[in-house]
């Protein structure tokens, strides 16, 4: 159900940063176009037969929703994805095509979440949360096992950070193998919910602005039980990444590696290009977490960069 994704060396990024090596972990090639199938599969395969019979439910519109739909399809179990009326039709279609039922209700994400809670009580469906669940966190951690089986001497891992399931899983697994490994969390300036929550010592909401890294938008949940303490414990360095740096990262991997990635996946490359941290002499891995972006947005970002370069 999961692809073991390759590590691609980037001689160019090693040169820019003075690192010994820089490798890109290509989760943009994962089934459904993002790493989220790892957590979803680990969670859903751990359900009892009785729970599988009842089916699962989630309210994510993005990569997590797709992952739950995909895994449910493979397992032959029922999956319901709750969406608001504002979710773009190409996303609704993608989720339906993977075989999930879509329940469209309400004008906002909050109303979609209300519908989700009603369905959990009324139909006894099993919630599959996007990040704050030990089985989801452990599933994302398999990325670290793959990286360290190929590069046992990796010193620095650059991980995009939003709800924190990805970073918590990778950091915990990596540090249990190599306690000295340096974990860098990359949040976006437009929506640094995890960073603000770490400062406050409890989950806080931040004002959310649009970002080209839309998979990193969103809060960490009013009630956060797992990812906030784990991210606090296992992250060695935090960086805030700008929209400009994200675009630089997307453009760099296209120009130099012919890879198409979404904004959320490009934060690490953007930070390396701008030399936001000292990685001289290190073995560095940056995670390209997904490729879910529509053609129109993608072309416009790359095109702007090409016009800037020509001038
Ligand atoms: C979900 C997601 C992230 C962030 O993962 P969290 O567990 O929420 O921190 C990063 N990149 C992509 C492409 C994602 O879909």
Over residues 263-292, the mean pLDDT reads 97
CA of 219 to the centre of ligand 1 (A): 12
In angstroms, the CA 106 to CA 82 distance is: 10
Over residues 112-121, the mean pLDDT reads 92
- Residue 90 confidence (pLDDT) above 90: no
The mean of the pLDDT values for the chain is 95
pLDDT at position 113: 85
Strand partners, 103: 82
CA of 289 to the centre of ligand 1 (A): 7
Over residues 121-141, the mean pLDDT reads 97
- Residue 190 confidence (pLDDT) above 70: yes
- Residue 52 confidence (pLDDT) above 70: yes
Write down the residue that tokens 């675009």 correspond to.
247
Longest Cα separation, the chain: 63
Task: State whether residue 21 is helix, strand or coil.
Answer: strand
- Residue 141 confidence (pLDDT) above 80: yes
Would you say 303 and 295 are in contact if contact means Cβ atoms under 8 Å apart? no
Cα-trace Rg, the chain: 19
Fold held by 56-124: Rossmann fold (3.40.50)
Task: Provide the pLDDT confidence category of residue 311 given band limits of 50, 70 and 90.
Answer: low
Task: Provide the pLDDT confidence category of residue 158 given band limits of 50, 70 and 90.
Answer: very high
pLDDT at position 23: 99
pLDDT at position 282: 98
Over residues 184-203, the mean pLDDT reads 96
Write the residue with the smallest CA distance to atom 7 of ligand 1. 165
First to last CA, the chain: 46
Over residues 79-83, the mean pLDDT reads 94
Over residues 102-115, the mean pLDDT reads 86
Task: Provide the pLDDT confidence category of residue 286 given band limits of 50, 70 and 90.
Answer: very high
* Ligand 1 probe mutation, 161, 162, 169, most atoms within 8 A of CB: 162
CATH architecture for segment(s) 7-34+133-310:
3-Layer(aba) Sandwich (3.40)
CA of 300 to the centre of ligand 1 (A): 23
In angstroms, the CA 283 to CA 79 distance is: 41
Over residues 239-261, the mean pLDDT reads 98
Cβ-Cβ contacts under 8 Å for 46 (sequence gap 6 or more): 135
Which regions of the chain carry the CATH code 3.40.50.1100?
A: 7-34+133-310, 56-124
- Residue 306 confidence (pLDDT) above 80: no
CA of 87 to the centre of ligand 1 (A): 19
Task: Provide the pLDDT confidence category of residue 108 given band limits of 50, 70 and 90.
Answer: confident
| Per-residue pLDDT tens digits for 267-279 | 999 999 999 999 9
- Count each helix (H run) and each strand (E run) in the chain, helices first: 13, 10
pLDDT at position 109: 75
**Number of residues that this document lists for the chain:** 311
From the CB of 65, is ligand 1 less than 6 Å away? no
CA of 146 to the centre of ligand 1 (A): 18
From the CB of 141, is ligand 1 less than 6 Å away? no
């Amino acid at each position: 159900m999961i692809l073991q994704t390759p590590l691609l060396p980037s001689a160019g990024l090693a040169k820019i940063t003075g690192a010994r090596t820089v490798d890109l972990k290509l989760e943009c090639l994962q089934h459904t176009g993002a790493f989220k199938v790892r957590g979803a599969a680990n969670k859903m395969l751990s359900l009892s037969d009785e729970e599988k019979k009842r089916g699962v439910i989630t309210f994510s519109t993005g990569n997590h929703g797709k992952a739950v739909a995909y895994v449910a399809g493979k397992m032959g179990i029922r999956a319901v994805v709750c969406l608001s009326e504002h979710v773009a039709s190409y996303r609704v279609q993608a989720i339906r095509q993977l075989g999930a039922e879509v329940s469209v209700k309400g004008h906002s994400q909050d109303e979609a979440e209300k519908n989700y809670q009603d369905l959990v009580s009324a139909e006894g469906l099993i919630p599959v949360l996007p990040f704050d669940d030990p089985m989801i966190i452990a599933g994302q951690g398999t990325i670290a096992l793959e990286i360290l089986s190929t590069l046992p001497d990796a010193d620095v891992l650059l991980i995009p950070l939003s709800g924190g399931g990805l970073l918590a899983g990778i950091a915990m697994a990596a540090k249990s193998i190599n306690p000295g490994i340096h974990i860098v969390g990359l949040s976006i300036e437009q929506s640094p919910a995890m960073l603000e929550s770490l400062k406050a010592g409890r989950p806080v909401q931040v004002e959310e602005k649009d970002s080209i890294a839309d998979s990193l938008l969103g809060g960490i949940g009013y009630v956060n039980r797992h990812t906030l303490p784990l991210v606090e414990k296992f992250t060695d360095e935090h960086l805030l990444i700008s929209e400009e740096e994200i675009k630089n990262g997307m453009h760099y991997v296209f120009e130099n590696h012919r890879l198409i990635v979404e904004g959320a996946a490009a934060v690490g490359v953007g930070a390396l290009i701008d030399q936001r941290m000292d990685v001289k002499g290190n073995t560095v891995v940056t995670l390209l977490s997904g490729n879910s972006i529509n053609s129109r947005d993608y072309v416009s970002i790359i095109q702007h960069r090409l016009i800037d370069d020509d001038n």
